[in-house]
C-alpha cells in the first residue's frame, strides 16, 4: 500500500533533504560572511579558521574553477565576495569541517579587513542616488494627465508595505555527493532544481549533464527557495567537488533569517481621480521597490507589481511606473504574490482615502469599478470569463455583508472600548510566468509491466499538493487507481531545463505535460486494444475502473492485461512530452500583450475586533468567495486558500522585519519575528464560485497558490475602520504592517494631522 504524502507526514516518515541518510564522514560547510553592509575587501585571512580542530578546508573566490556567478536572472551575484561586499551577511569564504558546529565557529574566526563605504537601506534614498537594478518601467492606458480635468475628486498620497520573512519551517539546506568523472549529485531544498543545476555547473565549470539535482520535497517554500536555495546548494557542491567528500549545509533559523532576502518592501506615491458616482477615471502610481543589493528576481517581481497595480478594477486612464532600487540589504526575493500584493495594497489605500473624502464606504467605490467581461486590462489583455462581479455579488449575498455592516455599526455604538471593522478585498491575479519563456514544462511517464506508473516532471512538492494533483490527473486519464501512480522526485536527469515551481503554475504546466504524456501512451494502448478486440473502432474504447471498455461496457481486457500485451507486442510504454502554454506573448517595448493564460478572481471580507484600551486586536473572520474553476482537489485548494490568507494577514499585521542603522537584522529569530499562531488564525469560510469553467486551465481547474494571500490586505483596512470607530478624526498613513503599537499610537495620538 503506497501512502500518500500526507499520510507519510503524519507518521514523520516523509523524508526532507536534511533527513536523508548520510554516511559517517559527511562533512559540513558554512560560509564566513560580511560583517558590514558595504565596503571594499582589503584582505581575507582564513588562517585562524585552521586553528579549529576538525576544519578540513577553507575556500574563497580564488578556489572557484568556473565562474563566480550564481545569478540566474541577472549576472550580478557572486557566490563568494572577492573585491567588495554589498550587504551584511554576504558570503566571503567557505569553511568545511567535520561538523556544522566546528564549521560555524571556524567561519566566525575568518578575519576580513574592509574599507567601509556608506550604505543605503531604503528605496527612496537609493532612487534619489540613482541606484537602480534596472531603469523605471511604465505601464499605461488612456491619457491620465488629460483625465484629471474631468474628475470630481482627486486624492493623492503615499503608501508603504514592509518586508516579510518566509519562515518556511525547513531552513535552507543541501547535500552534495561526488560521483565519478567529476560528476555531482546534489539533493537541495530548492524550488528551482534547474536553476540550481545551472548555477552549480557554471561555478564548477562543468557541463550541466555532470550535475544532477534532486528534490524530494520541501518543508515550505513560499518563494523563498526559488532563487535563494541556489547559493547554499552551490556551496555544498563546490566543497564536495574539491574534496571528493559528501558535504552538507544546513542553516540554523537565525542564520536563515539573516542570510536570505525577504518579501520586498515597497513605497509608492499615488493619485486617484473619480467622478461623483465613485467611478475611477484615472489612477497614477509610482512604485519604489527595495530590491536589496542584488537583482535576484526583483525585476520580474517589479513587473508583476505593474501587472497587478489595477487589481480587479477597470480604470480607463492609468499610468503606473515602478523602479527597482538597489540598497545594501540581503537581496529581496520571491514571496507568494510576487510583487502583486504590494501593488494592490497601494490601490486599496487610494480607494480608502478617496472614499473618506467622498464620505462613503470604500466598498461603494470598489463595487462600481469592478472589471467586467470583455474589458481590457491596461496592458492590453482582454478580460475573458471575468468573475470579478460574480464573486463580489456572491460574497455580498452569501455572507450578507450589508447586514453585517449594520450589525457592526450597532456593536460599535454599544461598546465603548471594543470596536469592530469589516473590509472587503476583491482580487484578480494573472496566471503564468510573466517571463513568457518560462511557461513550458516536460513530463516523463513510464508504465511498467506490472501496470504501475511512474511520473517525472518539473514540479517541486512543497505542501501545495502538486504531486497529488498530477498523480490524480494521470490516474484519471488511464482510468486506474491512484495507488498505481507514483510521482517521482524532481530530478534534472529526468527533466531538463525545468522552470522553477513558482508563479502558482506548478500544477498547470507540469500537470498538462503529464496529462499529454499519459494521453500519448493511452492512445497507443487504445489502438492495441481495438486491434485485440477484433478490429473495433478505437473511438469506442475507454479505460474505466482499471478495465478496457467498449461503448461503456467492460471487455475481457483489464488494465494489467493490456499493459502486458503492450509489452509483449513491443508497444512503447514510456513517453516524454513537452507543454508550452499557448497564446502567450508580451511586448516589453510597448508593455502590451497577453502575458497570462487566465486570471483568478475572488472576493473576501475580513472582520476584526479592536481592544481600544490596550491596542490589541483579533482577526475574527475571513469570508471568501473564490473562483477556482473546477478544482482538482477541493481539500488541497481549500488549504491553499486558508494558508495564503493567514500569511497575508500576518504580513499586514504582526510580521515586522526590522534592521538597525548598520543593516543588521534585528528580528533574526522566532522570538523576535512572530508569525501567526493557532490563536491568531481566524475562522475562515471558503466558498468556491459555483459552475466556474476554465478552458485554459488543467482540466478546467485554476491555479491557487498565490492569489488568496491578497485577501489578507483587507485586514489593514478593517483595522483602520475599527480605529476610526473609536477616533473618527484619525487618518491612516497607509504604512503596513498595522502592529499593535501603531494601533495604540493611533488611538491615543494627541494631534490628528490632516494627511
Partner 1 sequence: MSVASEAVPFLLNRDKIEEKAGPGVVLLDIIRRVHHLTGTKEACREGDCGACMVLLGTPEASSRMRYVPVNSCLLPLGAVAGCHLVTIEGINGPELNPIQQMLVAQGGIQCGFCTPGFVIALTAFFLNSINSDAAAAMDAVAGNLCRCTGYAGIKRTIQALCSRFDLSGSPQENRIRDCIDWHLLPRYFASIPEKLASLPRIKPAPGDSDAVRVAGGTDLFVQKPEILCSAPLNFLRPENSAECVRLQDGRCIIDAATTIEQLRTSQALQNLFPAIDEDFRRICCAPIRQRATVGGNLFNASPIADLAVFFLALDARLHIDGPMQERPVRLRDFFKAYKQIDCGPDELLREISLALPEPPFGFSFEKVSKRTYLDIASVNSALLIELSNGVIQKVCLSAGGVAPIPLYLNSTCEFLLGKAVREEVVLEAARVAQSEIAPISDIRGTADYKGLLLRQLIFAHFLKLFPEQLCWEALHETA
Catalytic residues: 706
Burial of 469 (0-12, 13-18, 19+ CB in 10 A): buried
CA dihedral of 249, 251, 257, 262, whole degrees rounded to 10? 40
Helix (H, G, I), strand (E, B) or coil at 595: coil
Give the shortest CB-574-to-partner 1 separation in angstroms.
Answer: 30
Q: Phi and psi at residue 59, in whole multiples of 5°? A: -120, 140
Any contact of residue 679 with partner 1 (CB under 8 A)?
yes
Interface region with partner 1, contact rule CB under 8 A, candidates 165-173, 569-577, 599-607, 694-702: 165-173
Binding mask 177-216 for partner 1 (x = CB under 8 A): ----------------------------------------
Closer to partner 1 by Cβ: residue 352 or 617:
617
Any contact of residue 739 with partner 1 (CB under 8 A)?
yes
Cα–Cα distance measured from residue 331 to residue 265, given in angstroms and rounded to the nearest whole number: 11
Residue numbers 639-658 binding partner 1 by CB under 8 A: 639, 642-647, 654, 656, 658
Binding mask 445-464 for partner 1 (x = CB under 8 A): -----------------xxx
Any contact of residue 751 with partner 1 (CB under 8 A)?
no
Closer to partner 1 by Cβ: residue 236 or 624:
624
- Near partner 1 by CB under 8 A: residue from 75, 244, 483, 748: 748
- Near partner 1 by CB under 8 A: residue from 120, 127, 157, 170: 170
Sheet of strand 490-491, all strands in order from the earlier edge strand to the far edge: 55-59, 91-97, 27-33, 247-250, 173-178, 184-188, 211-215, 490-491
Residue numbers 15-34 binding partner 1 by CB under 8 A: 15-16, 18-19, 21
Binding mask 614-643 for partner 1 (x = CB under 8 A): xxx-x----------------xx-xx--xx
Give the shortest CB-725-to-partner 1 separation in angstroms.
Answer: 14
Tell me how many residues contact partner 1 (CB under 8 A): 77
Residue numbers 585-614 binding partner 1 by CB under 8 A: 613-614
Cα–Cα distance measured from residue 262 to residue 163, given in angstroms and rounded to the nearest whole number: 6
| Contacts for 340 with CB less than 8 Å, ≥ 6 apart | 304, 305, 307, 308, 429, 706, 710
Cα–Cα distance measured from residue 48 to residue 113, given in angstroms and rounded to the nearest whole number: 14
Binding mask 253-282 for partner 1 (x = CB under 8 A): x-----------------------------
Q: Phi and psi at residue 439, in whole multiples of 5°? A: -85, 60
Any contact of residue 410 with partner 1 (CB under 8 A)?
no
Any contact of residue 674 with partner 1 (CB under 8 A)?
yes
As beta bridge partners, residue 134 has 324
Residue numbers 489-528 binding partner 1 by CB under 8 A: none
Closer to partner 1 by Cβ: residue 160 or 291:
160
Interface region with partner 1, contact rule CB under 8 A, candidates 40-48, 217-225, 493-501, 602-610: 217-225
Q: How far is CA 199 from CA 33, 34, 65, 79, 86, in A?
A: 20, 22, 13, 10, 20
- Near partner 1 by CB under 8 A: residue from 6, 62, 138, 400: 6
Residue given cell 525585476 in the structure block: 299
Any contact of residue 219 with partner 1 (CB under 8 A)?
yes
Residue numbers 93-122 binding partner 1 by CB under 8 A: 99, 101, 105
Give the shortest CB-73-to-partner 1 separation in angstroms.
Answer: 26
Helix (H, G, I), strand (E, B) or coil at 326: strand
Reported residue count of the chain is 755
Cα–Cα distance measured from residue 678 to residue 350, given in angstroms and rounded to the nearest whole number: 32
Residue 345: HSE in the Cβ half-sphere, 13 Å Cα cutoff: 32
Give the shortest CB-421-to-partner 1 separation in angstroms.
Answer: 17
Give the shortest CB-201-to-partner 1 separation in angstroms.
Answer: 28
DSSP 8-state assignment for residue 183:
-
Query: 316 is written with which cell numbers?
Result: 480607463
CA angle 656, 659, 662 (to 5 degrees): 175
Closer to partner 1 by Cβ: residue 488 or 642:
642
Any contact of residue 167 with partner 1 (CB under 8 A)?
yes
Residue numbers 464-483 binding partner 1 by CB under 8 A: 464-465
Any contact of residue 545 with partner 1 (CB under 8 A)?
no
Give the shortest CB-743-to-partner 1 separation in angstroms.
Answer: 10
Closer to partner 1 by Cβ: residue 21 or 729:
21
Cα–Cα distance measured from residue 579 to residue 586, given in angstroms and rounded to the nearest whole number: 19
| Contacts for 415 with CB less than 8 Å, ≥ 6 apart | none
Cα–Cα distance measured from residue 165 to residue 332, given in angstroms and rounded to the nearest whole number: 10
Amino acid at each position: 500500500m503506497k501512502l500518500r504524502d500526507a499520510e507519510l507526514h503524519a507518521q514523520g516518515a516523509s523524508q526532507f533533504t536534511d533527513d536523508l541518510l548520510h554516511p559517517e564522514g559527511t562533512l559540513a560547510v558554512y560560509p564566513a560572511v560580511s560583517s558590514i553592509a558595504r565596503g571594499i575587501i582589503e584582505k581575507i585571512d582564513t588562517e585562524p579558521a585552521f586553528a579549529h580542530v576538525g576544519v578540513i578546508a577553507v575556500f574563497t573566490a580564488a578556489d572557484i574553477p568556473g565562474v563566480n556567478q550564481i545569478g540566474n536572472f541577472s549576472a550580478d551575484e557572486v557566490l563568494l565576495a572577492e573585491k567588495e561586499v554589498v550587504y551584511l551577511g554576504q558570503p566571503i569564504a567557505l569553511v568545511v569541517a567535520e561538523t556544522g558546529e566546528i564549521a560555524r565557529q571556524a567561519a566566525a574566526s575568518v578575519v576580513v579587513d574592509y574599507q567601509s563605504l556608506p550604505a543605503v537601506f531604503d528605496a527612496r534614498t537609493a532612487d534619489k542616488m540613482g541606484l537602480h537594478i534596472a531603469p523605471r518601467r511604465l505601464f499605461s492606458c488612456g491619457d491620465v494627465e488629460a483625465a484629471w480635468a474631468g474628475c470630481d475628486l482627486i486624492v493623492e498620497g503615499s503608501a508603504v508595505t514592509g518586508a516579510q520573512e518566509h519562515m518556511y519551517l525547513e531552513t535552507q539546506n543541501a547535500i552534495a555527493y561526488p560521483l565519478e568523472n567529476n560528476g555531482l549529485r546534489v539533493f537541495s531544498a530548492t524550488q528551482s532544481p534547474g536553476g540550481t543545476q545551472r548555477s552549480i555547473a557554471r561555478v564548477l565549470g562543468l557541463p550541466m549533464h555532470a550535475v544532477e539535482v534532486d528534490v524530494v520535497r520541501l518543508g515550505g517554500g513560499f518563494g523563498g527557495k526559488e532563487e535563494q536555495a541556489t547559493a547554499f546548494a552551490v556551496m555544498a557542491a563546490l566543497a564536495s567537488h574539491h574534496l571528493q567528500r559528501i558535504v552538507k549545509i544546513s542553516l540554523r533559523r537565525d542564520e536563515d533569517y539573516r542570510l536570505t532576502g525577504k518579501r520586498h518592501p515597497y513605497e509608492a506615491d499615488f493619485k486617484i481621480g473619480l467622478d461623483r458616482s465613485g467611478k475611477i477615471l484615472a489612477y497614477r502610481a509610482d512604485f519604489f521597490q527595495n530590491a536589496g543589493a542584488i537583482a535576484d528576481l526583483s525585476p520580474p517581481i517589479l513587473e508583476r507589481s505593474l501587472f497587478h497595480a489595477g487589481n480587479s478594477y477597470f480604470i480607463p486612464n492609468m499610468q503606473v511606473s515602478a523602479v527597482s532600487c538597489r540598497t545594501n540589504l540581503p537581496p529581496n526575493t520571491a514571496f507568494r504574490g510576487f510583487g502583486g500584493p504590494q501593488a494592490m495594497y497601494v490601490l486599496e489605500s487610494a480607494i480608502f482615502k478617496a472614499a473618506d473624502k467622498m464620505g462613503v464606504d470604500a466598498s461603494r467605490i470598489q463595487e462600481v469599478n469592478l472589471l467586467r467581461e470583455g474589458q481590457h486590462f491596461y496592458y492590453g489583455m482582454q478580460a475573458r470569463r471575468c468573475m470579478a462581479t460574480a464573486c463580489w455579488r456572491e460574497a455580498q449575498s452569501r455572507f450578507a455583508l450589508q447586514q453585517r455592516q449594520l450589525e457592526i455599526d450597532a456593536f460599535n455604538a454599544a461598546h465603548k472600548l471594543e470596536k469592530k471593522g469589516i473590509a472587503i478585498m476583491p482580487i484578480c491575479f494573472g496566471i503564468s510566468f510573466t517571463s513568457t519563456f518560462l511557461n513550458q514544462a516536460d513530463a516523463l511517464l513510464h508504465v511498467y509491466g506490472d501496470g504501475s506508473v511512474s511520473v517525472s516532471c518539473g514540479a517541486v512538492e512543497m505542501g501545495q499538493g502538486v504531486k497529488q494533483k498530477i498523480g490524480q490527473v494521470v490516474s484519471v486519464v488511464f482510468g486506474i487507481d491512484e495507488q498505481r501512480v507514483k510521482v517521482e522526485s524532481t530530478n534534472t536527469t529526468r527533466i531538463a531545463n525545468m522552470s522553477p515551481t513558482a508563479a502558482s503554475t506548478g500544477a498547470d504546466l507540469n500537470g498538462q505535460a503529464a496529462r499529454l504524456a499519459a494521453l500519448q501512451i493511452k492512445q497507443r494502448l487504445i489502438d492495441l486494444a481495438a486491434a485485440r478486440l477484433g478490429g473495433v473502432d478505437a473511438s469506442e474504447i475507454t479505460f474505466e475502473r482499471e478495465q478496457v471498455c467498449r461503448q461503456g461496457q467492460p471487455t475481457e481486457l483489464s488494465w494489467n492485461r493490456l499493459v502486458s500485451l503492450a509489452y509483449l507486442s513491443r508497444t512503447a510504454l514510456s513517453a516524454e512530452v513537452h507543454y508550452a502554454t499557448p497564446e502567450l506573448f508580451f511586448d516589453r517595448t510597448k508593455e502590451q500583450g497577453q502575458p497570462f493564460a487566465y486570471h483568478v478572481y475572488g472576493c473576501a471580507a475580513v472582520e476584526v475586533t479592536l481592544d481600544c484600551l490596550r491596542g490589541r486586536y483579533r482577526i475574527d473572520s475571513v469570508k471568501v468567495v473564490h473562483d477556482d474553476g473546477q478544482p482538482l482537489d477541493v481539500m488541497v485548494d481549500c488549504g491553499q486558500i486558508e494558508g495564503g490568507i493567514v500569511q497575508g494577514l500576518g504580513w499586514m499585521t504582526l510580521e515586522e522585519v526590522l534592521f538597525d542603522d548598520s543593516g543588521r537584522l534585528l528580528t533574526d529569530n522566532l522570538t523576535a519575528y512572530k508569525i501567526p499562531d493557532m490563536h491568531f488564525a481566524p475562522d475562515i469560510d471558503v466558498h468556491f464560485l459555483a459552475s466556474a469553467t476554465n478552458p485554459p486551465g488543467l482540466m478546467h481547474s485554476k491555479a491557487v497558490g498565490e492569489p488568496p494571500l491578497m485577501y489578507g490586505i483587507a485586514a489593514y483596512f478593517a483595522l483602520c475602520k475599527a480605529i476610526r470607530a473609536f477616533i473618527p478624526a484619525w487618518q491612516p498613513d497607509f504604512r503596513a504592517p498595522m502592529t499593535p503599537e501603531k494601533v495604540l499610537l493611533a488611538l491615543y495620538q494627541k494631534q490628528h494631522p490632516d494627511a
